[in-house]
Structure 1
């Protein structure tokens, strides 16, 4: 499975080379075979006898972070959507994107995103899942900002990145807590410890953090605001990311962890409330939009809210309905995004106020739109797959009251009414989308282009998706036993018998009655749209979560700028003071809180002799003298006394190699100092304030104490076996030398020494080059 995940990423490396020939062969033709091959590889697992597969590839085994790929019914459903819709999107983009576009960039980003999504849905290791999760945010950022010359594209890309990455980091916190309390990084093994997790005091915090990740990625209220702005991306991106893949990553996350949290009442309360609010708000706001992709964006938010709510219900019927709608939504919403792109491509506008009467000009596109919009609306017709999952949604909401009490019971009682209310607006915006574009008076004089039907190549992908709508609508039980039952069983962590979906249950069937109410009231609201649309002036009116986001980002920018300007003064002295103060404060704090200072011991120290004291006194006096000396030459010589004093100490403590090294380094350093100081002005004593003197004193004393205590603590600690014993035992056997230091430098750390020599050589060449450049300039 790792090959299926990484093949798009590997192929992306060759796309820039392939794109050089785009004037002869469209780059998308080569890319097309990648998702198609993945789809054909995984489709063979569909069947009644499917059983989960698991493959493990080592990555960081010491941290229990490995590529553990797990293919069950849920991941198989998403893999087929990612690769199947991906194939259709790439084929569609071949006709949608002109060769004058930066096709290399587009397909690299698209393949990167495909790999990331495949990694998310196949990963059983939580930290690998998080790695791919953030890669989806990065690649979607690049895709949304593909037309980076447009200000709105850059704005939408940044907005999606900030919100989804914020959620991703929150999710990481929840995953870390789960890993700590269960002692494993495997989702499968975590699910086996449900009772232990349910009894943990961290359960509410874990749930909240993971839900933040899911809600932000799947555009749930109030984090939905990034999705409409993401519509600035090319239509193939919108059809792929925002109907079938990225926005469903949060849905996948909730479904994957549902067995752990489903017994926790606050999971039902939180997820159901957020899902229902998102359903209502998204459908309500969709009717207000005038941009075709804006309508589809809010419609996607609404549909995602419905799926999220069903997962929140937690019952088998609701989960099956959610899985069924994930499949159905990908078919009708993917086709509608492509139709919107076709309308934009062939008319030059997506403004619904300038569109109308296109059915006679674009009959194929209009026919496809009928199936897509009516399926999305949940119109009770047997050849529309959206009706089945919508009716299952109503049915699962009606049965929620059973087995609940307290606030959960009140919520369960209200949910069916709220579901109908949100679905009414779903019907309205679906009719608004179709009839506003394809019927009514023609407004061709407002269009930038003379409208005409799209080329057949651009129509093939939406035709295939609409065929999916019809086939699933006519034969809704075909995918049940072979795919949907396995996906539902993976979520509930049990073996599921296939649900038998019926079109007709009789007039007494409550979900059917709810569907009739939706259609009836929806028709009335659609026909009277102009009369009640003024309600948007009051709700939301001038209130906007986008304004809150913009002000929050602006405030963060202002605060960041003020903080940065407070210390970025151009003073190197100030920068060094801040760095040193931070090192002193952080290191001392960590040493104090972790018991680093308590390990200091003076039991195993060498006997101090008179000669040692004499050398140290001379070094201390020399160091103090540097404070008062103003002559450059004298200052360098006094500094050298300290260095040569260290060499003498090495000799006293029987370390001739270190003494020789120190002598060489000190001699070279003095020579370089003399050479550099020759070109510097004379030192002048400056009057310093008490504040400056105090700061300098704190820095000097603090760093001195820090280095001293760190050295003593390191010498006193016995946390690990001393590595010196290993060198003593093996230096002659491995290196063939009696001088341990030489063996370490030449043999055991030979590569380190080699690279140190290389660095010095490069530095010498650079200095030589600079000198030659200066000499050449002076000669001219």
Structure 2
């Protein structure tokens, strides 16, 4: 495993450790134990800068799903380094800022930092992944983690609305992007980004090329909030300010820009790529800047400002793609400068917008409001915050000597130069670019002045504030001060970035424009003489100041352009229509009757399997291959059939439970006869635990009464039952009577000991050959146990008042403490429990070579705990074993997952196991296998799942 892999996995591992860690003491903020992670990552990526600058490409690869040619391959070039430094650098400052912004006593800090670490790791995965499927996986994790961060204050309706809106739009865009990746695989036969880029131009004439282009851009546009997909970003501002500063200014919204930049070598020579990105970007730029003037909430202004600035960078990437239309000469270098401007402004925007979001957070934190109509006169009270705000807003407005001025001048150069592009007939449209860019810059200047002067100057209105305003503490100011200082440094010394970050990133975006050994010439200066760009900037300042002054009297800047029609209303109407339509459809078949649901399932099973067997001629019964049936097999089968047939006719739930258990034990006997001890043990213990579970469930049900049903209903039920029986019989006979290919069992029998070091083939299959299936099964079971817990707790919480619930629980607890009347059961249990637990441990450790394993051992352990509960009551098990079994489930899952991920350290696929023989003291030559660690995870998970369900149902009254 390479250091790049570790850089991606470190936040995930730390987040996992944080979930099982004891709750941090209130003496210090949880953020202090999180801060070293992004700092360490930032230092590591800084150390890689010299290698990347020298043209080296750091990479690493781990097998993931070799059969599908999917490898966990990562690489670091100039573009990846740029984004990695933003993710880790801004992340460090955001974590530091959050320590002083979030109250350690009032906020769920553990959840917050787990979500933040998940997002950080996912973003690093996106920008470092070489495999498109791996990239997509991390892409969607960013959507999920951002959903959790935006909804952090989930008690607010607006937070929940904004989180759902952002996830729906970005996830749908991600699915479109995935479809584009699949099309690329069809065209090229590879998921490797570098291979696709190296073979750029070979698939341009393919019929799937343009559909792939559009689908990938859908993913980029939704993620980077481009018009008309921008509507999620303003609502996402309900997140805490550290989240807004991190996700919505420096990282998540930049993922779409990264995707466009990364695929530019593949699509840049396509006219559709140029027009879609350039036009969409310039429209987003002017729309966002105009809408920002209409806002009165500081965060809302910055939200639309972010949309506008993302549009600016997107349009520059589109204009920069024009360089691919020229194979050599100065024209290609000239248009590539638009890409240079995009990269530079991407850095500048992360710096000044991050500082501004933190300033807004400070204002909100210290005054209790973000409404500029209530603010004013804060200059004398908050001078340091004002200074930071001036630097940030002036940089955003494009005023010297700040970094935003330089990239804004480069933007004007790009839009003026694009009018000279002679590859298209649409010269009129190209001439609109400078006009739209200038108008949008005027709007940007206007709202920038609003942010700083409406907040800090003018008449004080302290009586309208919720808090008495004062300057923020040094801890809250430190992060924005660093960012503001960078805005000044990058403005005065821009060439610090020229060949460290900008040129390597350009080389990654335009590799075809460079000959081996060549480099792009990057030189950024504050003064270029009296150029058209400078006059445009002067005009922006004059017109922007005019708009700022006239803003209160211009009604067009306060009222919506269309009152009855808007993209947000369209979204809301669409969601409402989908909800109502799905509700109507669902109500047609969701009748509330379990019988109806079972009928739906079984009828579908009969029709689908029956049609498949008939259509493909799969019904094949070859009795010659079957062994003769013995007398005792006939007897066991008759007992099994009679037990099952009798269940519908009994008038007691207890009898039904006994008959169900009898049927299960008959199946156990079959496993014994057919020499399958593992299955026999598992079946026997499952039946025992199931009977206890049935008793607990049925204890809460009303008295069993026979339902009077019509003869027609009985006939339907009988027909469905018979149909299921016939179909499953045909499936079993067909599977046994015909073989289309060699059975996989022979492979397992030959290789279980050679490859996995285990003689128990069943256990080896579970923990080694099919370990991934086992891991997913315990994950599903864990989710099911939490579902049972949540449903019962929800029912208890909704049905009874708090005082009644507390009294009821106390009564149940006291009742549980009463000694059992069955003295014999209690006496025998003391010995039996010890024997069962010892046997369970034996099954666990011998499972690799003999019948047993983690799953069987866990069920046996759970059986002992259930016996303890039955003999001594619920309170006893809580006193003897004061564990939170839900947490035990999480620990087991974590062990199983980490065991699988541990194979990455040895460049092996996920869940690859190893074994060896060692001479141990007292034990002598002993086999040690990593599969035992995975089995330990299974063992703990199954115990946690079983006891969570049993204890939860047992506590319910």
Match of 1:45 in 2: 48
How far does residue 376 in structure 1 lie from its aligned partner after superposition?
A: 0.6
Cα distance in structure 1, aligned partners of 2:751 and 2:304: 71
What are the superposed Cα offsets for residues 346-402 of structure 1, whole Å, 9 maximum, x if unpaired?
2221110011122222222212211111111112x2x21112212222222223344
Please name the residue that 1:719 is paired with.
Answer: 741
User: 2:345 corresponds to which residue?
Assistant: 325
Aligned to 2:588: 566
Check if 1:375 corresponds to 2:395. Answer: yes
Deviation at 1:319, TM superposition (A): 1.4
| Separation (CA, whole Å) in 2 of partners of 1:610 and 1:149 | 65
Q: 1:77: Cα distance to partner?
A: 0.5
Q: Does 1:31 align with 2:34?
A: yes
* Separation of aligned partners in 2, 1:600 and 1:680: 45
1:75-224 alignment runs, 5 A limit: 75-102=80-107, 103-224=109-230
1:18–1:415 distance in 2 versus 1, CA, 3 Å: farther
Question: Quick check: 2:197–2:265 contact (8 Å CA) kept in 1?
Answer: yes
Q: Determine if contact 2:623/2:737 at 8 Å carries over to the other structure.
A: no
* C-alpha distance after superposition, 1:696-724 (max 9, x if no partner): 53663366246415642564232335635
1:224 match: secondary structure: coil
Q: Give, in whole Å, the separation in 1 of the partners of 2:105 and 2:704.
A: 63
Instruction: Report the secondary structure of 1:352's partner residue.
Output: coil
Structure 2 unpaired stretches of 5+: 324-335, 766-842, 875-953
Change over 3 Å in CA distance of 1:465–1:736 after alignment to 2: closer
Partner of 2:774: none
Residue 76 of structure 1 deviates from its aligned partner by: 0.5
Question: Structure 2 matches for 1:506-655, cutoff 5 A?
Answer: 506-507=529-530, 509-534=531-556, 536-537=558-559, 539-587=561-609, 597-598=616-617, 605=624
CA–CA distance in 2 between the matches of 1:94 and 1:608? 72
Give, in angstroms, the shift of residue 134 of structure 1: 1.8
Q: What is the SS of the residue equivalent to 2:373?
A: helix
Q: Contact between 2:758 and 2:849, CA under 8 Å: does it hold in 1?
A: no
Deviation at 1:28, TM superposition (A): 2.3
Shift of the alpha carbon at 1:767?
8.7
Contact 1:335 1:466 in 2 (8 A): yes
Match of 1:360 among 380, 385, 388: 380
In 2 relative to 1, CA 534–98 (structure 1 residues): closer, same or farther, beyond 3 Å?
Answer: same
Q: Which TM-score applies when normalising by structure 1?
A: 0.83
Contact kept? 2:147, 2:163, Cα under 8 Å: yes
8 A Cα contact 2:551 2:557, kept in partner = no
CA distance in 2: counterparts of 1:482 and 1:546, whole angstroms: 42
For 2:506 and 2:578, the matched residues in 1 are separated by: 43
* Aligned residue in 1 for 2:813: none
CA 1:710–1:364 in structure 2 vs 1: closer, same or farther (change >3 Å)?
Answer: same
Alignment correspondent of 2:520: 497
Match of 1:336 in 2: 356
Q: Deviations over 1:521-571 (max 9, x none)?
A: 222222221232335535133433222222322333333333333333332
Q: CA deviation at 1:70?
A: 0.7
User: Which residue in 2 is equivalent to 1:259?
Assistant: 265
Matching residue of 2:367? 347
Gaps of 5+ in 1: none
| Cα drift, residue 41 of structure 1 | 1.5
8 Å Cα contact 1:54-1:69 kept in structure 2: yes
> Deviation of residue 408 (structure 1)?
5.4
- Provide the C-alpha distance between the structure 1 equivalents of 2:524 and 2:666, rounded to a whole number of angstroms: 90
Contact 2:79 2:504 in 1 (8 A): yes
Contact 1:52–1:70, Cα closer than 8 Å, also in 2: yes
TM-score normalised by L of structure 2: 0.69
| Counterpart for residue 458 of structure 1 | 476
Q: Does 1:385 align with 2:403?
A: yes
Cα 1:720/1:736, change in 2 over 3 Å = closer
What residue is the counterpart of 1:486 in the other structure?
504
- Residues 146-177 of structure 1, C-alpha deviations (whole Å, 9 max, x = no match): 22232222222222222222222222222233
Moved more, 330-339 or 89-98: 89-98
C-alpha distance in 2 between matches for 1:358 and 1:646: 79
Match of 1:430 in 2: 448
Could you report, residue by residue, the CA deviation over 1:387-436 in whole angstroms, capped at 9, with x for unpaired residues? 22122222222233445555755543322222222222111111111121
Q: Does the 8 Å CA contact 2:613/2:619 hold for their aligned counterparts?
A: no
Change (3 A) 1:71 1:728: closer
Q: Secondary structure at the match of 1:431?
A: helix
Task: State the Cα distance separating 1:207 from its structure 2 match.
Answer: 2.2
Q: CA 1:94–1:693 in structure 2 vs 1: closer, same or farther (change >3 Å)?
A: same
Structure 1, residues 191-247: CA drift from partner, whole Å, max 9, x if none? 223234323322233223222221222111222122112212221111111111111
My pick for the range that moved more, 498-507 or 287-296, is 498-507
Alpha carbons 1:197, 1:260 under 8 Å: kept: no
Contact 2:79/2:509, CA 8 A, preserved across alignment: yes
SS of corresponding position for 2:527: coil
Q: State the partner residue of 2:790.
A: none
**Correspondence 1:687-698 to 2 at 5 A:** 688=710, 693=715, 697=719
Cα distance change of structure 1 residues 408 and 755 upon mapping to structure 2, 3 Å threshold? same
